[in-house]
Amino acid sequence: MPLPGKPFISQARIQKRVREMARDITKHYKNKPLTVVGLMNGSLFFMVDLIRQLPPDTKIECWKVSSYRGKKSTNRIQGLDGYEGNYDGRHVLLLDDILDTGRTLFETRKKLLKAGALSVKTVVLLSKNVPRVCDINADWTGFEIDNRYVIGYGLDYNHLYRPLPMIRILD
């Protein structure tokens, strides 16, 4: 089966960038209690590759949320109910695959602060160069990209193409 879409970011470039970010993040949280909250399913591969390079006492949580249908944002974040966990006394690194309108990170960040997190910083593999609908930006960004629809390395189109090890453009 031919690969869908066009080449964009290779597996080697992704892995190199993830190593750089992991080093930076480790330095930033040195000796602080850290919990990484990854937003599923899109950030599955990014989360696994990054957290394997963080200190062994890092806690991890996965939250399953969604906002996209096809190539369009539905403007609503689904799935946030039910993640009431206790984040008292923990610094939280909120991790997602891609930052677009900013709604997803904005709403989840609000929820984590309510749950007692000492601080909430954000890391995304990709950040689209578009105006944000919500007032949020990423503290760590893998790659800034133009407003294209991308798939692979966890990113989907209607639940397909997540397993690709590289990122491709599907326009």
Hey, is 103 helix, strand or coil? helix
Percentages helix, strand, coil for the chain, rounded to the nearest 5? Answer: 20, 35, 40
42 binds Mg ion (CB under 5 A): yes
Residue closer to ligand IMP (CB basis): 22 or 77: 77
Reduce the DSSP state of residue 77 to 3 states and report it.
strand
Q: Is 149 in the site for ligand IMP (CB under 6 A)?
A: yes
As measured in angstroms, the least distance from the Cβ of 97 to ligand IMP is 5
φ and ψ at 22, to 5 degrees? -60, -40
Separation CA 87–CA 168 (nearest Å): 36
Residues for the chain: how many in total?
171
Min separation Cβ 140 and ligand IMP, Å? 15
- Write out the binding residues for ligand IMP, residues 49-108 only, by CB under 6 A: 67-68, 73, 96-104
User: Cα separations (Å) of 51 from 3, 57, 81, 120, 129?
Assistant: 28, 11, 25, 17, 26
Does residue 100 have an active-site annotation? yes
Please identify, using beta-carbon distances, which residue of 33 and 106 lies nearer to ligand IMP.
106
Residue 152 makes contact with ligand IMP by CB under 6 A: no
For residues 68 and 143, which CB has a smaller minimum distance to ligand IMP in the complex? 68
In whole angstroms, the minimum distance from the beta carbon of 102 to ligand IMP comes to 5
Residue 141 in tokens: 């960004």
Distance between start and end Cα atoms, the chain: 19
103 binds, among Mg ion, ligand IMP, none (CB under 5 to 8 A by kind): ligand IMP
Partner from ligand IMP, Mg ion, none contacting 150, C-beta within 5 to 8 A by type: ligand IMP
Q: How far apart are CA 170 and CA 25, in angstroms?
A: 31
Under DSSP, the state recorded for 17 is: H
Q: Which of 155, 161, 164, 167 binds ligand IMP (CB under 6 A)?
A: 155
Write down the catalytic residue from 49, 96, 100, 156. 100
What residues make contact with ligand IMP under the rule CB under 6 A?
Answer: 39, 42, 67-68, 73, 96-104, 149-150, 155-156
Active site members: 100
